[in-house]
Amino acid sequence: MRWTIKPKPDSIEIERLSKTLKVDKLIAHLLLQRGISTYEEAKLFFRPQLKHLHDPFLMQDMAVAVARIEQAISSGENILVYGDYDVDGTTAVALMTSYLMTYYPNVATYIPDRYDEGYGISLKGIDFAEDNGFTLIIALDCGVKAVAQVDYAKQKGIDFIICDHHRPGPDLPNAVAILDPKRDDCQYPFKELCGCGVGFKLIQALAKNRGQTIDDLLPYLDLVATAIGADIVPITGENRVLAYFGLQLINEFPRAGFKAIINQIKKNELTITDVVFIIAPRINAAGRMKHGQHAVNLLMETNMAEAENFAAAIEKFNTERRSLDQEITDAALKQIQLNKEEERFTSVVYDQNWHKGVIGIVASRLTETYYRPTLVFTKSGDKLAASARSVKGFDVYNALEGCSDCIEQFGGHKYAAGLTLLETQYERFKKQFEKVVAESIDPQLLFPELSIDTAIELHQITPKLMRILKQFAPFGPGNMSPVFMAENVQDTGYGKGVGEEEKHLKLTVTQKGSKPIGAIGFNLGDKIGAVKSKNRFDIAFSLDENEWNGQVSLQLKLKDLR
């Protein structure tokens, strides 16, 4: 790994903020790195308030969207809430539907079938709306590029309101309203909402229009926090406020669906990381293995016994997903090795029998192994479908734009995208993608970067420091858990490999003048040789609490050592 230390803020600024906030200089240093330089900004960071959320009517087309929904309600129209099959889409559908149904009954949900219809708005979904008398579709986490589909709906007398957060194409669909902060003409102050977040802004506007307050919308924030975590959007600004209160809700008053999952995993307090690695994969597993509607049913269920039945079914999907994911990852790694492609700038693999529901996870696993832009293809109908993943600092969406003459359609973000192409174009695409990446990527980006906030001495690590750092949460892009470096440490002599095949590293480290402190390094078992015989070494770590027999102690969570 490349260790890079973030630039140190100005010493005078550190001193000033330390005195203003009456905190240690280390805390002032960390806050300044996060763009927090005044008492007011620090108050906002440590004590988020719902009143700090922006006025939803600042979003382009919001007033039109609210007026069209109110018109539908007053004239008794049927409303179809349509969303993508991943966590962001299914939470958004559950949020929008359950809110509307608190005062209007003629609302139904539609999640496209991942295998039959694919991503986004499908013609089949529009036909379903026509056959069942729906005249308004609210699309969530998709639709900003669905120009042809919205035109098709228009011919059938069906209106669209689109709530999306993906980058729009050159032409916007002919919808009644398009809520997307990434629109060039949208002046909304916060651009990084997830799809469920945009859906939340719409219910916030509807609520405001009906004389409700933000407190009336608190019960929906658990869904928004889950989508924020799962969609890996920055946990800064408005997302931080939404995630903070949503996480509180998950821990204190979880909806039946979340409670059913939490009961299965038997964990007391969930962090945003737990939401990402425990709750999100289970919600995602429904759309990957069976159908996204199962996730919506779980998230909207109010009866605990029913929710437990839904959660048990989803747990089976998740177990099946895990075993498939492992099997396909092994096969993909073999394919790279057999074709002697270890030295390329990209990984592009294909097998017609791979399960479409897990290729995104497999792409992430391959990126972890080879650390380069990666695409995993499988057969989807008469075409090939792929999931793309990238490395930090490289925009895979732009790279795909450079290969657009080989692609049927694509969409996504800087670090994750999806695409389809004709099988006859696969080899040509593979060569072109390698060429585009090779010519545009900074070779440094092909080595994982370990970004370190600052170097510290081990004696600075105290329970008080830990208490303050816990208040930096929720962590995520834009506000990652602080990573520290300590130099010239040594093991007390009891360092050992632990776990299956001793793949983890357990140490007790000291530094000149410091008390010993425990450290655990997951997947660092192969570094045991470097710490033996009282060798001195540097460590990069975050701070953690270890609970054992009812006792809580500080420990270092090692990221790397050298």
pLDDT band, very low/low/confident/very high, at 142 (cuts 50, 70, 90): very high
Q: Are 261 and 285 in contact (CB under 8 A)?
A: no
pLDDT band, very low/low/confident/very high, at 532 (cuts 50, 70, 90): confident
**3-state SS, one letter per residue, for 105-148:** CCEEEECCCCCCCCCCCCHHHHHHHHHCCEEEEEEECCCCCCHH
Q: What gap in Å lies between CA 496 and CA 511, rounded to an integer?
A: 19
* Alpha helices, DSSP H, located in 339-376: 359-370
pLDDT at 94: 97
CATH topology of domain 339-446: Diaminopimelate Epimerase; Chain A, domain 1 (3.10.310)
Mean pLDDT of 16-20: 97
pLDDT band, very low/low/confident/very high, at 550 (cuts 50, 70, 90): confident
- Rounded to 5 degrees, what angle do the CA atoms 415, 420, 422 make? 140
What percent of the chain is modeled with pLDDT above 70?
Answer: 100
DSSP 254-281: --HHHHHHHHHHT-SS--HHHIIIIIHH
Q: What gap in Å lies between CA 511 and CA 374, rounded to an integer?
A: 41
Structural domain boundaries of the chain? 2-47+450-561, 56-313, 339-446
- Evaluate if residue 267 carries a pLDDT over 80: no
Mean pLDDT of 430-456: 95
Average pLDDT of every residue of the chain: 94
CATH topology of domain 2-47+450-561: OB fold (Dihydrolipoamide Acetyltransferase, E2P) (2.40.50)
The number of beta carbons lying within 10 Å of the beta carbon of residue 303 is 10
CATH topology of domain 56-313: inorganic pyrophosphatase (n-terminal core) (3.90.1640)
Task: Report pTM.
Answer: 0.89
- Which residues are paired to 110 by β-bridges? 82
pLDDT tens string 220-239: 999 999 999 998 889 999 99
Q: What gap in Å lies between CA 512 and CA 259, rounded to an integer?
A: 47
pLDDT tens string 403-415: 999 999 888 778 8
pLDDT at 54: 97
pLDDT at 552: 83
- Which residues are paired to 421 by β-bridges? 384
pLDDT at 516: 93
pLDDT at 49: 95
Residue 144 vs residue 267, higher pLDDT: 144
pLDDT at 264: 84
Q: Are 457 and 356 in contact (CB under 8 A)?
A: no
Cis peptide before 281 (omega within 30 of 0): no
Q: What gap in Å lies between CA 258 and CA 262, rounded to an integer?
A: 6
Mean pLDDT of 96-111: 97
Phi-psi region of 499 (alpha: psi -120 to 50; beta: other; left: phi over 0): left
